[in-house]
């Protein structure tokens, strides 16, 4: 599976780290972040602001093939890649989010013959896009707040 590992400890303020120390099981916090990252990835198909870079247009031959099949949306033919997004089981202070479609990395990172059209909102340096980071860590902080009440 092609994945991104999500960790949260580095992004917490000292006050939140102190609160986190009171939580015995951090899995729900990681799961909240993982599921929000999955939602951000799904949104990238519709919302350009969730993508780390704009998607390059399809080649004319690809557009023609998709039109013949009655499909016009980019990176969507049978919705397999969207449906293949998975949130893993938390381990330590990390959770993995990714796709088990064998061709997902080709779209995320590109190939020698195909430009990258990243759908997981992750920049080349491995960090989340600002929009995704805000949503993911907001979900994680909200779950932490629920756990410490």
Residue 61 Cα to chain centre, angstroms: 29
Considering its fold, how many domains does the chain have in total? 1
Sole residue written with tokens 């491995």: 126
The per-residue pLDDT for range 97-140, each reduced to its tens digit, is 888 888 888 888 999 998 888 889 988 888 888 999 899 989 98
Q: What is the pTM of this model?
A: 0.81
Structural domain harbouring 81: 2-147
Q: What is the pLDDT of residue 87?
A: 92
Q: What is the pLDDT of residue 135?
A: 93
- Lowest mean pLDDT: which of 54-58, 79-83, 139-143? 79-83
The per-residue pLDDT for range 30-71, each reduced to its tens digit, is 899 999 999 999 998 888 888 888 888 877 887 787 777 776
* Tokens describing residue 81: 């890649």
Q: What is the pLDDT of residue 63?
A: 72
Torsion angle (degrees, nearest 10) of CA 31, 33, 35, 37 = -150
Sole residue written with tokens 């998709």: 66
The per-residue pLDDT for range 9-30, each reduced to its tens digit, is 556 667 777 777 788 888 999 8
């Amino acid at each position: 599976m092609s994945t991104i590992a999500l960790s949260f400890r580095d992004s917490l303020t000292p006050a939140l780290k102190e609160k986190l120390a009171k939580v015995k099981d951090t899995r729900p916090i990681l799961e909240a972040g993982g599921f929000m990252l999955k939602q951000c990835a799904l949104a990238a198909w519709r919302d350009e602001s969730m993508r780390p870079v704009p998607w390059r247009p399809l080649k004319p031959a690809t557009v023609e093939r998709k039109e013949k099949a009655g499909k016009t949306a980019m990176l969507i033919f049978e919705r397999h890649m969207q449906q293949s997004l998975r949130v893993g089981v938390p381990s330590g202070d990390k959770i993995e989010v990714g796709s088990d479609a064998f061709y997902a990395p080709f779209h995320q990172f590109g190939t020698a013959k195909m430009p990258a059209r990243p759908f997981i909102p992750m920049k080349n340096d491995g960090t989340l896009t600002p929009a995704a980071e805000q949503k993911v860590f907001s979900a994680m902080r909200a779950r932490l707040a629920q756990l410490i009440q």
